[in-house]
Structure 1
Amino acid sequence: MDRASFFAPKRSLGQNFLSDPNICRRIVASLELAPGDPVLEIGPGRGALTRILAGHDGPVMALEKDSELVSWIKAEFPAVGVVHADGLDFCWEGTRRLPGLSLIGNLPYNVASPMIWEMVSRCRSFRSMLFMVQKEVALRLTAKEGSRTYGALSAWVGNFVRGEYVFTVPPHVFRPQPKVDSAIVRFLPRPDPAWEDAAALSWTVKILFQQRRKQLGTILKAHWSEAVETWCGELGVDRRVRPEELSPDALRSLARVLDPKNEAAKSAKCPSGQGLPEYF
Structure 2
Amino acid sequence: MTSALSRTPGQAAHRPKRSLGQNFLQDQGTAWKIADALEASSGHRVLEIGPGRGALTGRLLESGCDLYALEKDGVLAGKLKKHWPRLSVVVTDALRFNWTKLHGPWRIIGNLPYNVASPIIWDLAADVPHLERGIFMVQKEVAQRLAAAPGSRSYGALSVWVQSHAQVRGLFTVGPQVFHPRPKVDSAVICLTSLAPEERLHHSGPLRRLLPLCFQQRRKQLKTILRPLWGDHLDQWFQDQDLRPESRPEELSPRRFQLLANLLFPPHQDPENPSPATS
In the alignment, is the contact (CA less than 8 A) between 1:74 and 1:82 conserved in 2?
yes
* CA distance in 2 between partners of 1:200 and 1:164 (Å): 26
2:84 is the counterpart of 1:81:
no
From 121, 124, 131, the counterpart of 1:126: 131
Residue pairs, 1:178-189, within 5 angstroms: 178-189=183-194
- Unmatched segments (≥5 aa) in structure 2: 1-5, 275-279
**TM-score, L = length of structure 2:** 0.92
2:222 is the counterpart of 1:216:
yes
In the other structure, the counterpart of 2:42 is 35
Counting aligned pairs with the same residue, the percent is 43
Structure 2 residue identity aligned to 1:208: C
From 215, 224, 227, the counterpart of 2:233: 227
Structure 1 residue 214: Cα displacement = 0.3
In the other structure, the counterpart of 2:3 is none
In the alignment, is the contact (CA less than 8 A) between 2:42 and 2:66 conserved in 1?
no
List, as ranges, runs of 4+ consecutive aligned residues in structure 1 with deviation greater than 4 Å: none
From 19, 24, 29, the counterpart of 1:17: 24
* CA distance in 1 between partners of 2:263 and 2:224 (Å): 17
Structure 1 residue 64: Cα displacement = 0.5
* CA distance in 2 between partners of 1:116 and 1:220 (Å): 28
Structure 1 residue identity aligned to 2:67: V
2:182 is the counterpart of 1:172:
no
In the other structure, the counterpart of 2:148 is 143
**TM-score, L = length of structure 1:** 0.91
In the other structure, the counterpart of 2:246 is 240
* CA distance in 2 between partners of 1:207 and 1:77 (Å): 47
The secondary structure found in structure 2 opposite 1:54 is helix
Structure 1 residue identity aligned to 2:222: L
Larger deviation, residues 218-227 vs 41-50: 218-227
In the alignment, is the contact (CA less than 8 A) between 1:61 and 1:80 conserved in 2?
yes
Structure 1 residue 70: Cα displacement = 1.1
* CA distance in 2 between partners of 1:263 and 1:240 (Å): 27
Structure 1 residue 228: Cα displacement = 1.8
The secondary structure found in structure 2 opposite 1:203 is helix
* CA distance in 1 between partners of 2:221 and 2:175 (Å): 38
Could you give the per-residue CA deviations for residues 207-262 of structure 1, whole angstroms, max 9, x where no partner exists?
10000000000000001122222211111111000000100001000000011634
Structure 1 residue 32: Cα displacement = 1.4
Aligned residue pairs: how many? 263
- Unmatched segments (≥5 aa) in structure 1: 267-280
* CA distance in 2 between partners of 1:117 and 1:15 (Å): 20
Structure 1 residue identity aligned to 2:113: P
Residue pairs, 1:259-270, within 5 angstroms: 259=265, 261-265=269-273
The secondary structure found in structure 2 opposite 1:212 is coil
Could you give the per-residue CA deviations for residues 85-107 of structure 1, whole angstroms, max 9, x where no partner exists?
111110100001xx221000000
Could you give the per-residue CA deviations for residues 64-100 of structure 1, whole angstroms, max 9, x where no partner exists?
111111111111111111111111110100001xx22
Structure 1 residue 265: Cα displacement = 4.0
In the other structure, the counterpart of 1:190 is 195
* CA distance in 2 between partners of 1:154 and 1:5 (Å): 36
